[in-house]
Structure 1
Amino acid sequence: MSFLLAIEGADGAGKATASALVVEQLQAAGRSAAVISFPRYTDTVGGWALGAMLAGTLPRGTSPKAAAVLYALDRMESRDHLMATMAANDVVVFDRYIASNMAYQAAQVPVVEADTMMAWIADLETGSFALPTPDLSVYLDTPADIARGLIRQKRKRSYTDDAFDAYEADTGLQDRVRINYAAMAAAGLLGRWATVSTVEAGASRLPADIARDIVALLR
């Protein structure tokens, strides 16, 4: 049975880099591993719609629930790909997974509605869409100022030419997302969580060291 590891965090936390390095270190240790990054912007209808939404080119706006359905749809459309990847590997690493949908959409409703939104999304993705829950979710705790600098260093994305997409540009949203992630980790929503800091003494840690901390959690 494949171990499902979700790497989570606000934009600019270093999820893609950490995910790739975790797989690299696992493979070096003799374990088969692969990354699935969500959203899959060029591979699913949901992913395409999300790219348009984040680039500001969708013909109309979306409510938090509508956006949540699009993120869940992207994963539902990817279910066969996910199952095949699980069958072929000891470990599947998610660069964002279900908790990301919960954190971001709950950050866009009144605080009193956040828990209800999170529960609704969890039920949609793991219940209605029958997606597997992760065995471990790792929250990459990254201060906002450092995260914003890392966003600027991202390579060109398939869905936008801008330095920041709609979610990345909203600093208030990013702050609320961090609060939601910390709350989910503390409550153990979707299963076991661990928090890994990406900074030390006010400076960014080496990505390889962050990845080693994550790999150690699998043992």
Structure 2
Amino acid sequence: MGQLIAIEGADGVGKATTAGMLCETLNAMGHSAVVISFPRYGHTVGGVTIGRFLAGDMPVPVTPKAAAVLYALDRLESRDEILKARATHDVVVFDRYVASNMAYQGAKLDGDAGDLLAWIAALETGQFALPVPDLNIYLDTPWDLARALILQKAQRSYTDRSFDEHESDAALQLRVRDMYARIAQAGLLGNWETVQASADGEMRASATIVAEIIGHIGLDAR
């Protein structure tokens, strides 16, 4: 049964790039690896609805708890694919997973988010029976650098804007970073390692980041 490695972090830290390169590197080392990215825009009911939400196209307000259900539904609809990937590969790399839901929805609350974090974890890993990652990797970087990277993103399938609803809210992005740090420090959803995506005011090379992550996973070339 393969390891589940979740690449986490706020918007613009390079999660998709890191997840893709980690998968390629592991395969080159002789391990069978695959990437599953969330949300799955265009593939699930949850994913399609999340795309509308992030594009600002929802006709009604979306509360943090309602949003949490949408993100969880996206993964519930993908559970069979997750379990099949784990059964047929050495490593499954997630580009965002359960902790992303916890960090973003928790960051939207004015008060303590502890109860909401616990509720989301129970919903996704309890009621929806999604597997807990063997390792969560938190990619950390300052918002000013991340913002520049968001502007370099390719056209998204769910919006034609430069920033979606989450990306455009700088205050939210700062709170998301704080929430991720809290989740990682508390060890919610299993083991965590924090990897700095930047150094001295510049983004680190993707290959360097991936090499550090592989060291945390503990896999050698075959």
* Superposed displacement of residue 111, structure 1: 2.6
* Superposed displacement of residue 61, structure 1: 1.6
For 2:34 and 2:120, how far apart are their aligned partners in 1? 25
Q: TM-score, normalised by structure 1?
A: 0.98
For 2:205 and 2:8, how far apart are their aligned partners in 1? 18
Q: Deviations over 1:136-171 (max 9, x none)?
A: 000000110000000001111110000100000000
Cα RMSD between the aligned structures? 0.7
Superposition map of 1:166-177 within 5 A: 166-177=165-176
- Aligned partner of 1:69: which letter? V
SS of residue in 2 equivalent to 1:111:
coil
Matched, 1:108 2:108: yes
Identity value in percent: 58
Superposition map of 1:56-205 within 5 A: 56-112=56-112, 114-205=113-204
For 1:111 and 1:139, how far apart are their aligned partners in 2? 23
For 1:200 and 1:180, how far apart are their aligned partners in 2? 21
SS of residue in 1 equivalent to 2:115:
helix
Gaps of 5+ in 1: none
State the number of aligned residues.
Answer: 218
For 2:212 and 2:86, how far apart are their aligned partners in 1? 23
For 2:88 and 2:61, how far apart are their aligned partners in 1? 39
SS of residue in 2 equivalent to 1:57:
coil
* Superposed displacement of residue 134, structure 1: 0.3
Matched, 1:25 2:25: yes
For 2:24 and 2:215, how far apart are their aligned partners in 1? 14
SS of residue in 2 equivalent to 1:195:
strand
Gaps of 5+ in 2: none
| Bigger helix share | 1
- Aligned partner of 1:49: which letter? T
For 1:202 and 1:25, how far apart are their aligned partners in 2? 26
Matched, 1:36 2:23: no
* Superposed displacement of residue 178, structure 1: 0.2
SS of residue in 1 equivalent to 2:60:
coil
For 1:74 and 1:43, how far apart are their aligned partners in 2? 9
* Superposed displacement of residue 184, structure 1: 0.8
1:208 is aligned to 207
For 1:23 and 1:106, how far apart are their aligned partners in 2? 29
Runs of 4+ in 1 over 4 A off after TM superposition: none
Q: TM-score, normalised by structure 2?
A: 0.97
* Superposed displacement of residue 86, structure 1: 1.2
* Superposed displacement of residue 58, structure 1: 1.6
